[in-house]
């Protein structure tokens, strides 16, 4: 005779075991992401570059442009642009890092000019919190990754070339590996949704970031701001970081203008004009172009930014949104995890299919 425990304790125990197993798995995943960052970060960056190349190639391919030529054009355009960004950062980062001690000695004088504009209370806060910051450490942490990324550019390029070589055959291998028609169809649908969302996100963010950086660069050149190219490239890159990226992209050149110029006018021009451009593009143009392709709640974006920044540092901040979008889509295709995907989404509606793209 078997006994059945109808008590609440008997029903709670399996749930506690499930929660314990989930907590252990999540801890192992986070540990693996942290420990394997040296391998996973270049691979993830290569996947995003691959997605951007596919987006360019699919738009170029047509009646008069064969697929192989469209792929070559996509590779040339994207990798050339990526190399140009890294070259500018790597070339000027060292010069800026060497000039930081000069900026430190001039920063106290620059703060005195702010007194007449914002008052003694705000100036005291600036003195207490900003002057005590080691600017050289900030510069090396902000720009040091550029030089190391140049060293991994070849590795990322190799990953991308092999991904492009297996672009068509990978779907067939995925269906064969599933060993089930329905499962293969579900995996293909999930991969198509991920590819569609990432192409939309990376494509729109690249366009918006280029537009913002070009407008900002014209302002920097008009003001004759030092390292204008560096600040423009940083503006392009930082726009991929949600929420705080656009703020940092305005703060850095604005602080340098305080040190470089004897008047506060360039500082106000950068803060007011560039800040307005960032606000208008980030709050109106960006959401209008993305539409429902990025169906993720704002709160989830902040959580993703915090989590991936803690695990992978600055690169994690850049990758936080596309990685979380991938997780959301995967969850939406797994019935047991679909409730989590609904909570992560913006309006509760899940994107489970994507339009077909040319092979």
In a domain, 143, yes or no: yes
The pLDDT assigned to 95 comes to 66
* pLDDT value for 216: 93
Q: Is residue 132 part of a domain?
A: yes
Domain of residue 160, residue span: 36-344
pLDDT at residue 220, rounded to an integer: 93
Contact 100, 252 (CB under 8 A): no
pLDDT at site 357 = 43
Whether 305 and 245 have beta carbons less than 8 Å apart is answered as: no
pLDDT at 103: 63
Query: Which tens digit of pLDDT belongs to each residue from 346-359?
Result: 776 665 544 444 44
Residue 359 sits at the vertex; the CA angle it makes with 61 and 78, to the nearest 5 degrees, is 55
Per-residue model confidence (pLDDT) at position 284:
81
What pLDDT score does 150 carry? Answer: 62
How far apart are the C-alpha atoms of 309 and 320, rounded to whole Å?
8
Q: Looking at residue 118, what is its pLDDT?
A: 54
Any domain includes 350 = no
Give the pLDDT confidence score for residue 212 in this predicted structure: 93
Which pLDDT belongs to residue 185?
A: 77
For residue 355, being part of any structural domain is answered with: no
Can you give the pLDDT at residue 215? 93
Q: Look at residue 359 and tell me if it is in a domain.
A: no
Indicate the helix (H) or strand (E) that contains 251. helix 244-260
Count of domains observed in the chain: 1
197 near 332, Cβ under 8 Å? no
Give CA torsion, residues 288, 290, 291, 295, to 10 deg. -140
Residues of 116-155 as b/e, b for ≥16 C-beta within 10 angstroms? eeeeeeebeebeeeeeeeebeeebeebbebbeebeebbee
What pLDDT score was predicted for residue 213? 92
Specify the pLDDT at position 218. Answer: 94
191 occurs within a structural domain: yes
- C-alpha distances in Å from residue 335, one per residue of 58, 236, 329, 349: 32, 38, 12, 14
Query: In which region does residue 227 sit, left (phi positive, over 0), alpha (psi from -120 to 50) or beta (all else)?
Result: left
- For 69-120, the pLDDT digits (tens) are 888 888 888 888 877 777 776 666 666 666 666 666 666 666 666 555 555 5
List the chain residues with pLDDT less than 50: 1-2, 131-144, 353-359
Structure confidence at residue 234 (pLDDT)? 85
What pLDDT score was predicted for residue 148?
Answer: 61
């Amino acid at each position: 005779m078997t006994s059945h425990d109808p008590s609440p304790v008997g029903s709670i125990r399996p749930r506690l075991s499930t929660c314990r197993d989930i907590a252990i798995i999540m801890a192992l995943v986070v540990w693996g992401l942290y420990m394997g960052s040296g391998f996973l970060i270049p691979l993830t960056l290569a996947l995003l570059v691959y997605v951007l190349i596919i987006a360019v190639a699919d738009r170029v391919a047509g009646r008069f442009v064969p697929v192989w030529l469209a792929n070559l054009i996509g590779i040339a355009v994207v990798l050339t642009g990526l190399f140009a960004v890294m070259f500018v950062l790597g070339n000027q980062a060292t010069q800026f890092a060497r000039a930081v001690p000069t900026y430190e000695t001039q920063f106290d004088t620059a703060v005195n000019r702010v007194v007449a504009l914002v008052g003694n209370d705000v100036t005291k806060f600036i003195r207490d919190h900003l002057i005590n910051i080691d600017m050289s450490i900030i510069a090396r942490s902000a720009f040091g990754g550029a030089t190391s990324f140049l060293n991994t550019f070849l590795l990322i390029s190799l990953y991308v070339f092999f991904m492009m070589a297996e672009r068509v055959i990978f779907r067939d291998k995925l269906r064969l590996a599933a060993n089930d028609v329905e499962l293969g169809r579900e995996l293909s649908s999930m991969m198509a949704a991920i590819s569609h969302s990432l192409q939309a996100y990376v494509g729109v963010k690249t366009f918006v970031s280029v537009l913002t950086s070009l407008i900002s660069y014209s302002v920097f050149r008009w003001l004759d701001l030092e390292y204008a190219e560096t600040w423009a490239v940083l503006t392009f890159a930082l726009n991929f970081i949600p929420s705080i990226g656009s703020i940092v992209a305005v703060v850095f050149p604005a602080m340098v203008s305080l040190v470089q110029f004897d008047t506060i006018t360039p500082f106000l021009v950068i803060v007011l004009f560039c800040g307005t451009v960032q606000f208008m593009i980030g709050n109106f143009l960006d959401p209008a172009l993305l539409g429902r392709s990025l169906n993720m709640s704002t709160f989830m974006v902040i959580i993703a930014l915090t989590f991936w920044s803690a695990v992978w540092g600055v690169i994690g901040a850049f990758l936080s949104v596309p990685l979380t979008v991938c997780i959301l889509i995967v969850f939406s295709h797994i019935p047991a995890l679909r409730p989590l995907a609904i909570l992560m989404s913006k309006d509760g509606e899940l994107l489970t299919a994507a339009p077909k793209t040319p092979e």
